[in-house]
Amino acid sequence: MNQITVLKIGGNVIDNPAALTRFLTAFSALRGDKVLVHGGGKIATQVAEKLNVPTTMVEGRRITDQPMLEVVTMVYGGLVNKQIVAQLQTLGINAIGLTGADAGIVKASRRPVAAVDYGFVGDIQEVDSGRLQSLTSQGLVPVFAPLTFDPSLGTLLNTNADTLAQALAVDMIRHNDVTLVYCFEKKGVLSNPDDDNSVIKQLTPDVYAEHKDAGSINKGMIPKLDNAFAALEAGVKRVIICHADELGAALDGAEGTTVTLG
């Protein structure tokens, strides 16, 4: 079966030009088909401030009202996405920048208002893996901004990049053996958040539960790991969490955290 790597890059790498260049160089060297999903939240916050658009976060999640939707569309779908595509083209990778709306690849619905009204935030409903597969089969490398769309409303929706990567990976298992990789500025999942050398080499559900109960795994790592385990349960072959500078070594099993069902 065909092999494909779905990789999400985020954290402090996106807004650090040198770190981003190092990562994209390593990404371009990966063999086989690949799909890249990127974040860009810090840049969106910086641009919003320049435009006098208030930023409101609830438990680390961005409230996306109409002005903020315009900002994240410009930043994610424009500035960040096209800069990454341009760098990959320079590195010899025939990248194509996309949002979920392009070719209707990722459909979502606006999140219902509950205790919090997140605004124009999308919950993914469907991925058209056939169209995505047609791009990779032509030798193209899709680069996704974290934007989906609601066909009933005709609007773009801000969507968590970790969740988007997981959804793409899960849907691609129809045609491929899929590896899902989450890259950021940490060496992996840490047993001590203050010690970058305390990498948990293999994380099972039981080990995850222990560290979550103890508080050593917390905040933004929890939804990332929830996505990781959900991907494995759905049939993704393996999930790796690693430092952006250690991508190659992590794929070889020498660095980072391998998430496993046991």
**Which residues participate in the annotated binding site for substrate?**
40-41, 62, 158
Q: Which residues of 47-78 are buried (b: 16+ CB within 10 A; e: fewer)?
A: bbeeeebeeeeeeebbbbbeebbbbbbebbbe
Provide the token pair at 97.
């920048």
d(CA 176, CA 172): 6
Name the H helices within the chain. Answer: 17-29, 41-50, 66-72, 81-90, 129-137, 161-172, 205-214, 221-234, 247-251
Instruction: Tell me the C-alpha to C-alpha distance, in Å, between residue 231 and each of 114, 162, 165, 168, 200.
Output: 26, 11, 10, 10, 19
- Whether 213 contacts 155, CB under 8 Å: no
- Annotated binding-site residue numbers: 40-41, 62, 158
Pair of tokens at residue 197: 């050398």
Which tokens belong to 75? Answer: 């930043």
Residue 63's identity, in one-letter code, is: I
Place of tokens 């790498």: 13
